[in-house]
Chains A and B, each alone.
Chain A
């Protein structure tokens, strides 16, 4: 089964943002950013698009499908 992989942490750190700062830009809790980065929580399309906008990257570069074994 395919899993959702993401490079939100990498993109956030490249922009020099803390989790709290990114959370403020996206208008979600820091906990949500934290769990998205750790691939524990799969965000909705709306949050994914907000993350992409806040990080200045296309959403398909932030999120991708990883085929499971």
Chain B
């Protein structure tokens, strides 16, 4: 069991480092949506636009799943339990609260902006989802890193 605790500790530190980095990667992908026209008909769109749309959706779903479940899906049950113990789930709840607030605030800002300059639904949804998810991932990583550093 001690070995399992050490392994969980190592993986947990790795997760705390990786999730905020992936959040920043998700945010940098937003530039591709802001600087390009909205794809109205994805079926008949250019392959490059289909890939852009698909990669964003896949990355978002994977990151959301990693945040919601703790990741490491192919590891053993005992190890995953340690990686998602009481404190980690408390950090996750906190992070998701932050993500929800950021998503809602983004929605309000976009609502106001849309009355000044028309916005496409794709871009608005992109921003609401990406900013909320990125905020939650960064918050989770920060809380986990702080907890590891205390020792």
Contact = CB atoms under 8 A, between A and B. Distances in A.
A31 B2 contact: no
B119 interface: no
Given A20-B2, A43-B86, A47-B86, A29 B150 contact: no
Contacts of B1: 24-25, 27
Interface in B128-151: 144, 147-148, 150-151
Interface residues of A, number: 20
A69 interface: no
Contacts, number: 63
A19 B2 CA distance: 10
- How many B residues touch the partner, as a band? 20 to 34
Q: Which of B6, B83, B85 has the most CB of A within 10 A?
A: B85
A40 B147 contact: yes
Interface string A7-32: 00000000000011101110111111
B85 A32 contact: yes
Interface of A: 19-21, 23-25, 27-32, 34-35, 38, 40-41, 43-44, 47
